[in-house]
Each structure stands twice: as C-alpha cells, then as structure tokens.
Amino acid sequence: MKVKQKDVSTIVILNKNKQGTKTIQIRTRHLAHLKYYAIGLVGMIALLVGSIFLLRNNIQQQEQEKQLLLKQIVSLKGQIPVELQKQSEKLTAQTYIQAIESKLKNINDYLRKRGLRGFSTKAVGGDANAATGKLTDKEVYMAYNDYLTHVVNAVAFTPMGYPKISSMTSSFGFRSDPFNSEHAEFHPGIDFRGERGDAARVTANGRVVSTGWMGGYGNCVRVAHSNGYETLYGHLSRITCRVGQQVSVGDKIGEIGSTGRSTGNHLHYEVRKDGKPVNPVKFLTLNN
C-alpha cells in the first residue's frame, strides 16, 4: 500500500552548530494524537506516585499498630494472674533444684573415681531453723547452689580417696625398717597392695610437677593441686604422664611396680600440705 504525500509529515532536526540537518518523516495522524500520548504518560506517572504514597501510608499504619500491640503486651505482662506468677516461681525453683542435683552428680562422680560412696540426691533441702524460714525459696536455693559449687571445687582439688582400690600394707608414721628390723624409720605415706602393671590413679585435679627417678621412691610422679596440696606416687614400674600435664580425678598417671627402695610390688602414696607430709588416711573417707 502506497502512503500518500499528505499523510506524511517531515520533522527537521538542526544541530547546535547549525552544520547540517536531519529529517524524520512520521505519519501525520501520530502528530495529531501526540497530546493524547502525553496525557496518558502523565496519567501513568500520577498513578505510580499515588501507589507509592498509599504504600508508604500502609507501612506507617502497620508500624503504629505494631507499637500499639507491644504496649498492650507490656501492659498484659503486668496483669499476669497470681496463679501464673506462682507457676513461674515454681519453675524457677525447679531450675535451682536441677542445678543442685547436677552438682551433686559431679561430686558423686569424683567420689566414685576415688572408691568412695557418693551423696544421695533423693532428698535435697535445708534445716528448718529460724534464719532459713525468713528466706524466700529463691534465696534458699541460691544459698545451696553457692555452697555446692564450693563443695564441688573442694572435692575436685583436694586429695581424697584411693589411688589404688586395695588394702593397705603399711601406714603413715614410724615403723620398723623393712630392710633392717632393728631400726625404725618414719614412713611419710601409706602403701597399697598391688600387682606390677596395675594402674595408679591421681586422687585430685591438678598439674604434674615432676616425673622420673627420685631416690628411694624409684620411679615417682608428683602432682600439685590448686589449694596447696600435693600428692606423690612412688615405686612405679612405668610412668604414663608428663611434667606440665593437667590431670583430673581418676586419670592414670603410672603403673605399680617395685622400683627404688622397695621389697615388692606396691604403690607408695603421699599427701603433702604446703610441702609437709600429712597422714593420707585422713583423706580416704569423708568421715575422717
């Protein structure tokens, strides 16, 4: 189909430096509708701006509603029924009880590793004296919690129990010299019966401060604990720890033997306080 000359309009485009021109030919009817195109474009822009405005208003309204709900929640928290408050306190008390039972379990674990009987966790409570009666449940449980934390640390770092669960063959103090019965000697520890290769286990948490040959003790291990105590394990056939090693209750530090000044396989065990030997029998049970 051939376009008639009158149906086509020519648009002349001039350059800024007026050097050369360009022409564009478009249908005349498009020029006649140009104003409608402009109106449509303006309408679309107005619709887009209006949508953005409405969306922003909706966001602001939702934020206001959120803040209002938060205020209502805070207000409701202050109006919790007494029954619910009691339930909440009960749950708090149960939490403290569970913490106490957990600490008792830790104590029992330490004691069992030393060959001792642990505490019973079936009945946990305090005495019924006047001071206790003035405390709230929460204060009572907090007091027990603090006390048991102290007990756990004391049990963990104080030499207690048996390095070898067996009978004693020699006690602490003066005794007849096993190599010369006509003479007496001071025995700074106690001896436990054992077979060569039996495990010797540390009786408290601490750090190994020396290993190796130590005169009459033969192969010996010394462990320092954080509260001024030190334990010594002598006549070992084999040492299984190293200097500087952190050890925990029940860890194997060596094997029983008869090295050094010894008449047979056994474990020599000492407890020292501030460098001086004390009777280890006092630390074998909780009742001494």
> What's the predicted TM-score (pTM) here?
0.55
Do 253 and 181 share a domain, yes or no? yes
Do 136 and 189 share a domain, yes or no? no
Q: Which of 102, 75, 231 is nearest to 158 (CA)?
A: 231
Give the structural domain span for 212.
168-283
In a domain, 123, yes or no: yes
Do 277 and 178 share a domain, yes or no? yes
In a domain, 65, yes or no: yes
Do 100 and 19 share a domain, yes or no? no
Do 138 and 193 share a domain, yes or no? no
Do 193 and 243 share a domain, yes or no? yes
Do 36 and 115 share a domain, yes or no? no
In a domain, 79, yes or no: no
Q: Encode pLDDT of 180-202 as tens digits.
A: 666 778 889 999 999 999 999 99
Q: Is 8 exposed, middle or buried (0-12, 13-18, 19+ CB in 10 A)?
A: exposed
* 104 or 76, which is more confident: 104
pLDDT at 255: 97
Average the pLDDT over 148-154 and give the result. 72
Distances from the Cα of 92 to the Cα of 88, 106, 125, 265, angstroms: 6, 22, 16, 55
* 254 or 64, which is more confident: 254
In a domain, 80, yes or no: no
Please say whether the beta carbons of 187 and 271 come within 8 A.
Answer: no
Amino acid identity of 13? I
Q: How many domains does the structure of the chain reveal?
A: 3
Q: What is the C-alpha end-to-end distance of the chain, expressed in Å?
A: 122
Do 185 and 240 share a domain, yes or no? yes
Res 168 pLDDT > 90? no
In a domain, 107, yes or no: yes
pLDDT at 172: 87
Question: Per DSSP, what are the bridge partners of residue 10?
Answer: 25
From 106, 133, 157, give the residue that closes a domain: 157
Q: Encode pLDDT of 243-268 as tens digits.
A: 999 999 889 999 999 999 988 999 99
